[in-house]
Amino acid sequence: MVSPNATCNAPRWLSIIGIGEDGVDGLSTPARDLIASATFVVGGARHLELAAPLIRSERLAWPSPLHLAFEQIAARQGQPVVVLASGDPFNYGVGKQLMQRFAPAEMLCLPHASAFSLAAARLGWPLQDVAQVTLHGRALEGIIRHLAPGARILALAWDGSTAAKLAGLLTARRMGRSRLTALEAMGGTQERVRSVRADEFDLSDIHPLTTLALEIDVQPGAPVIPLTSGLADDLFEHDGQLTKRDVRAATLSALAPTPGELLWDVGLGSGSVAIEWLLRHGSLRAFGIEARQDRADRAMRNALALGAPDLQVVVGRAPTALADLEPPDAIFIGGGISEAGVFEAAWSRLKPGGRLVANVISLEGEARLIDLFGRHGGELMRIAVSRIEPVGRMHGWRQAMPVTQWRVSKP
């Protein structure tokens, strides 16, 4: 037998082992040997029960908060320790948190098939063509961005109630003809696969360990979120405090989001810019700073309705509200650029190489941007949009108020 450490230059004392519903029977010989020889085994209560025939040492069920177990693991550094996890530990699993605490050279991972892989195998779906999301411990609305005609989605359920809630969401969004399949306890003796139309949902007693497969059927008029920037204005609830579609598209282009970045949206209003930033990629983050509670609440409603539930709203007035926030990669100032200290506070916290974009419609705001342009450089542009409107029996162009936009990168 080849040792699982054979390819390692340094001893790997911490083993992360994926285990499925088939328990010990589904483990490789190296995985079994590592569990049997461990001096300390950590995992969920279900994982510990599945591996019980092999465990010969001290065991610990995950405490809350999780980091308490990490301290006990660290105290045994150099001893053989095993962490048990569901399926692939690095696919929405505990592997990410362990990697943040321990060095990769200390760890060995032996994954089991992930829930996504098992579901794809049951359904015959090529994984590269399927959206893979988790609803475990996350807002149900996070799936909205993936709801498009003909889309196939695999989603990890939070618990046995997730399927019914998801069916209700699809029906409410005029996607009730979509097919929802519950793949329960895959790989174990309780495995069950059941399928139903969302608007005819009648499944009961769904196992808490379930993966949900969706085949999206969109009815006319359903609110589908397109991939482009510049969502239709009527998708947003607002009180007039809204960056309009064409200007918003130009603003997102100027902000130029790349994966993993953080945005500050100062003067959040209805939240349209921050929401569209978040929709560009699942790894993006955003803080929205808004002085008025009613607008903050409205922005959060928009975020939920449009599939961006991770928007973090900070109720407070800039610059004071900016003091304790994590430094951003990009800043959008849609209101308040002329207020004392707002630009200076934002600019001082912006990361080197970060982008700042500010929009104004007033002459006073434009004068402020011209002054800042003179001191910091960047690019000034005026965005003017005209739309056709009825003029009696005919039509004519009606121009919206022009927007002056300043975009600048921090040295």
**How far is 200 from 122, CA to CA, in rounded Å?**
23
- pLDDT band with cut points at 50, 70 and 90 for residue 10: low
Pick from 299, 276, 285, 283: nearest CA to 229: 276
Tell me: the pLDDT tens digits for 53-89? 999 999 999 999 988 999 999 999 999 999 999 999 9
- b/e 277-308 (16+ beta carbons within 10 angstroms → b): bbbbeeebbbbbbbbeeebbebbbebbbbbbb
Mean pLDDT of 143-160: 97
Give, to the nearest 10 degrees, the angle between helix 293-305 and helix 272-280: 30
Residues 6+ apart with CB under 8 A from 318: 266, 267, 289, 291, 336, 339, 342, 345, 346
Three-state SS sequence of 98-122: HHHHCCHHHEEEECCCCHHHHHHHH
Q: Which domains, from first to last, does the chain contain?
A: 14-112 (3.40.1010.10), 116-215 (3.30.950.10), 233-409 (3.40.50.150)
**How far is 90 from 20, CA to CA, in rounded Å?**
14
Residue pointed to by tokens 């955003």:
286
Tell me: the pLDDT tens digits for 343-366? 999 999 999 999 999 999 999 999
What type of residue sits at position 342? V
Rounded to 10 degrees, the C-alpha dihedral 142/144/147/152 comes to: 20
What type of residue sits at position 343? F
Average of per-residue pLDDT values in the chain: 95
Tell me: the pLDDT tens digits for 290-302? 999 999 999 999 9
CA dist 345 to 264, 281, 323, 353, Å?
12, 27, 8, 16
Helix (H) or strand (E) holding 311: none
pLDDT at 9 over 80: no
Instruction: Please tell me whether the peptide bond between 65 and the residue prior to it is cis, using omega within 30 degrees of 0.
Output: yes
**What is the percent of the chain where pLDDT is above 90?**
95
Tell me: the pLDDT tens digits for 178-206? 999 999 999 999 999 999 999 999 999 99
Angle at 363 between CA 361 and CA 368, to 5 degrees: 95
What pLDDT is attached to residue 194?
98
pLDDT at 336 over 90: no
Helix (H) or strand (E) holding 160: none
- Edge-to-edge order in the sheet of strand 40-43: 58-61, 40-43, 81-86, 14-19, 107-110
pLDDT at 156 over 90: yes
Largest pairwise CA distance in the chain: 87
Mean pLDDT of 160-173: 98
Mean pLDDT of 120-124: 97
For 150, other C-beta atoms within 10 Å of its C-beta total 8
Asked if residues 274 and 328 have their Cβ atoms less than 8 Å apart, the reply is no
Mean pLDDT of 123-133: 97
Phi, psi of 357 (to 5 degrees): -130, 130
Asked if residues 207 and 184 have their Cβ atoms less than 8 Å apart, the reply is yes
What type of residue sits at position 39? T
For 166, other C-beta atoms within 10 Å of its C-beta total 23
402 SS3 class = coil
Residues 6+ apart with CB under 8 A from 186: 20, 21, 115, 118, 119, 122, 211
pLDDT-wise least confident of 9-13, 246-250, 301-305:
9-13
**What is the percent of the chain where pLDDT is above 70?**
98
393 SS3 class = coil
The secondary structure of residue 64, as a DSSP letter, is S
What pLDDT is attached to residue 241?
85
What pLDDT is attached to residue 4?
45
What pLDDT is attached to residue 1?
37
